[in-house]
Amino acid sequence: MLTETSNDYILLGIGNALIDLFVYNNEEIEKLIKKYELLPKPIDKDFNKINGFLNEVSKYPDTLIVPGGTAQNSLRGAQRSLPPNSTVILGCIGKDEMGKILRRVLNNDGVRTEYTEIDDYPTGISSFSKLSNNKYFVRNNKGAATQYNLEYLKSPSKWKFVENAKYIYVCGFILKENYHIVKEIYKHALENNKIYATNLGSVKLVTKYKYRMDEISPYWDIIFGNESEALAFAEMSNWNTTDIFEVTKKLAQLPKHSSNFVRMAVITRDARSTIYADQNGTIKEYPIIPIVENDLIDATGAGDSFVGGFLSQLIQGKSIDECIMAGHKLANYIIRQVGTQYDSYDSFEHNEVNY
């Protein structure tokens, strides 16, 4: 039973409820690409072809099926370092087997799933297929994820989790189809003195939906992103700089509605470092945890897992150094395997970096 003083489900995530498929049978995949006449670049508009392709890929015996989606990946990571019943996810799935898999895996990872199930759309899927030239062939159909709406969000059984949460992490990608959801959430966070965190999403999202980000940015308490996304934001803002330290500082010091929380900007730089800046002018660079090249398997979900680690410590009142270290630890673990899987994280022996 949720109460106003409850610390249960303190971290709420809202984003695209997706399944990721990873396939390495490049001969079969290349046959399917020809069968469905799919193009080398992801510009196909015929969703019947794409859905046919995804349906066949999902049935291959060697296909790895794991949860995807920015918010889901981050909350699953955060829950690893939080007390039980700390995280809950909202989103939309289909009434199908993929939806059941999402529920099962997230629940096993300790995340409460408050999905809305719908009949007319399948659970969203992204496929990552490695071809013989070592390049990835990526196709997706967000399906039911795009259909989340205010009616679903404001239903009493779901909205009570919004009211209860003290930290809210919203996936940047939902700016495209679910902007009305984003607006409802950031206004609620401001009016109720909650921490609103989000991410820049992708370079494409920044360049195409910068005007929406400009409307939302005064509500940002924490903004995450990678270097390419941050530089794209700077270019679209006419900041006339490619200095990532200056860009991170400017992100942190954008105009802000609330003075109750000092805004943080956290920008990851792949294998180089992470840059932290806040609204008060603090800026610091953190080295990543080193990894042997042969141990690096797949970077899918690394940024999401970093966010999860960071938030898990922030919620518990830890220092920024500890937040960054927790993010780096999770990301260092995730890049050692295919897909965003946390099954053996608790027994993983971490290297340490002194901050």
Write out pLDDT tens, residues 293-312: 888 888 889 999 999 999 99
Confidence (pTM) = 0.93
Write out pLDDT tens, residues 88-125: 999 999 999 999 999 999 999 999 999 999 999 999 99
Query: Distance (Å, rounded) from C-alpha 197 to C-alpha 327?
Result: 15
Dihedral Cα 212, 218, 222, 226, nearest 10 deg: 40
Query: Distance (Å, rounded) from C-alpha 216 to C-alpha 234?
Result: 16
Whether the per-residue pLDDT at 5 is higher than 60: the answer is no
Chain-wide mean pLDDT for the chain?
91
Least Cα distance to 130 among 20, 29, 34 occurs for 29
Write out pLDDT tens, residues 157-204: 999 999 999 999 999 999 988 999 999 999 999 999 999 999 999 999
- The predicted structure's pLDDT at residue 77: 97
- The predicted structure's pLDDT at residue 30: 83
Whether the per-residue pLDDT at 54 is higher than 80: the answer is yes
Least Cα distance to 265 among 255, 251, 254 occurs for 251
- DSSP secondary structure, 114-138, as one string: EEEEESSSPPEEEEEEE-TTS-EEE
Query: Distance (Å, rounded) from C-alpha 200 to C-alpha 213?
Result: 8
Whether the per-residue pLDDT at 4 is higher than 70: the answer is no
Angle at 279 between CA 277 and CA 282, to 5 degrees: 45
Q: SS3 of 67, please? A: strand
- DSSP secondary structure, 174-205, as one string: GGTT-HHHHHHHHHHHHHTT-EEEEE---HHH
- The predicted structure's pLDDT at residue 164: 97
For residues 87 and 47, the model is more confident at 87
Q: SS3 of 11, please? A: strand
User: Which CATH architecture describes the domain 11-17+70-119+143-199+288-347?
Assistant: 3-Layer(aba) Sandwich (3.40)
Sorted by sequence, the CB contacts under 8 Å of residue 322 that are 6+ apart come out as: 313
For residues 344 and 115, the model is more confident at 115
Note whether 286 and 309 are within 8 A (CB).
no
The model's confidence at residue 1, banded by pLDDT at 50, 70 and 90, is very low
Least Cα distance to 231 among 203, 263, 198, 273 occurs for 203
Percentage of the chain modeled with pLDDT above 90: 73
Parse the chain into domains and list their residue ranges.
11-17+70-119+143-199+288-347
For residues 215 and 47, the model is more confident at 215
Over residues 63-82, the mean pLDDT reads 95
Over residues 272-276, the mean pLDDT reads 97
The residues assigned a catalytic role are: 304
Write out pLDDT tens, residues 222-262: 999 999 999 999 999 999 999 999 999 999 999 999 999 99
- The predicted structure's pLDDT at residue 31: 86
Tokens in use for 1?
């039973």
Lowest model confidence (mean pLDDT) among 9-13, 134-138, 328-332: 134-138
Buried b (16+ CB within 10 A) or exposed e, 307-337: bbbbbbbbbeeeebebbbbbbbbbbbbbbeb
Query: Distance (Å, rounded) from C-alpha 135 to C-alpha 141?
Result: 20
